[in-house]
Amino acid sequence: MKALLLTLSCLLLFAAGCGGEDSDSNGGGSAGSSAGAALGPDTGAPDTGIVQSSAFTLPDKLIVTTNVDLEVTALRQAFVAISGYARDFGGFVADAQINDDEEDGSAFLRLRVPASRHDDMVASVRNFAGAEVKREESTAREVTAEYTDLQSRVTNLQATEAQYQQLLNRAGTIDDVLKVTAKLDGVRGDIEQIEGRIKLIEDQSDFATVAVRMSLPPPVLAEATSGGLPSPVTVLIDAFATSFTVAHAVLNLVIVLIVAGLWIIPASLIAVFSWRRLRRPVEAVKAWFG
């Protein structure tokens, strides 16, 4: 029975092949001639001999990061305004910190914006009113090869998963089911891990990162006179400050002497009293022998 079915299948395939060749040989020329007649002798598209490829080319995947250090005069105002830039460019604030101290204030913003608006975002931060750029650095890391490799690995693993699924459907014993299920779970875990890495690369490449650190300018020192000497007011203030420092040191010394005297005076009185008590017997002995 099997041999008969095999023979019939071969005959059907042979007949189909012959029919296909006849139709190609007979209908191909007529189709070609009719197409040529429809288009006419000159179609406006010269034959250059170049075959146009319709293969899809992946765009380059770049992970772009920029760090900017700003010195601003109004910390809170700059913090709020630069945070708004990210939303204006279609991004968001990923991290925000601020220490609104009047003397030593600082702030940090980690902004995520679409990669196509990265340059606009950096230019807006750089040109913020009342700010001075102290440091700026940018890095771009190419991950196209890694991204393509990960996608190929996922495709291969998905094909392997489909094969294991077919084996699972044909498994006849519980032992076979358990073995195939274990293999299937392992392949599924690898696929999920790689897909997670792919999503991370897509997120990091689709959205650039702009990190902005803001700080207040250092305190302004007292202005000096035209001759390079400090002004009289500055000298007077420094003199008062120095006099208070000296007075404080003298007062501390007096306190130390008073506290030390509380121990020295009783010890001195005891020593004098003991000396007088011992001197009388000595004098009596001297008078006896004298």
pLDDT band at 70 (very low <50, low <70, confident <90, very high): very high
Q: Which phi and psi angles does 106 have, rounded to 5°?
A: -155, 160
Give me the domain span that covers residue 105: 62-142
pLDDT at 7 over 50: no
Q: 114 with 85, same domain? A: yes
Q: Is residue 73 in some structural domain?
A: yes
Q: 108 with 151, same domain? A: no
Q: 75 with 113, same domain? A: yes
**Radius of gyration of the chain, Cα coordinates, nearest whole angstrom:** 47
End-to-end CA distance of the chain: 159
Place of tokens 């319709």: 54
- In percent, the amount of the chain with pLDDT more than 90 equals 44
pLDDT band at 57 (very low <50, low <70, confident <90, very high): very low
Is the CB of residue 105 less than 8 Å from the CB of residue 92?
no
Q: 67 with 129, same domain? A: yes
Alpha-carbon distance 98 to 105, whole Å?
8
Is the CB of residue 90 less than 8 Å from the CB of residue 117?
yes
Q: 112 with 88, same domain? A: yes
Name the average pLDDT for the chain: 76
5 or 111: whose pLDDT is higher?
A: 111
Give the per-residue pLDDT at 26: 41
Alpha-carbon distance 56 to 68, whole Å?
37
pLDDT band at 28 (very low <50, low <70, confident <90, very high): very low
Give the per-residue pLDDT at 3: 39
Within the chain, residue ranges assigned H as helices are: 2-39, 75-88, 118-126, 144-170, 174-206, 232-289
Phi and psi based region of residue 147 (left: phi greater than 0; alpha: psi -120 to 50; beta: remaining): alpha
Q: Is residue 78 in some structural domain?
A: yes
Query: Which of 152, 179, 205 delimits the end of a domain?
Result: 205
Whether the full predicted model's pTM is greater than 0.85, yes or no, is no
Q: How many domains does the chain have?
A: 2
The token duo for 51 is 């075959």
pLDDT tens per residue across span 194-250: 999 999 999 999 999 999 999 998 876 544 444 556 677 777 787 877 887 888 888
pLDDT band at 285 (very low <50, low <70, confident <90, very high): low
201 or 22: whose pLDDT is higher?
A: 201
Domain with residue 95: its CATH number is 3.30.70.260
Q: CA 14, 19, 20 angle in degrees (round to 5)?
A: 100
Q: 107 with 164, same domain? A: no
pLDDT at 253 over 50: yes
Q: For residues 114-125, give the mean pLDDT.
A: 94
pLDDT at 19 over 70: no
Q: Is residue 27 in some structural domain?
A: no
pLDDT tens per residue across span 124-183: 999 998 899 999 999 999 999 999 999 999 999 999 999 999 988 888 888 888 999 999
Alpha-carbon distance 192 to 200, whole Å?
12
Q: 149 with 137, same domain? A: no
Give the per-residue pLDDT at 227: 54
CB neighbours of residue 11 within 10 Å: 10
Q: Is residue 239 in some structural domain?
A: no
Q: 71 with 127, same domain? A: yes
Say which range, 163-167, 274-278, 283-287, has the weakest mean pLDDT: 283-287
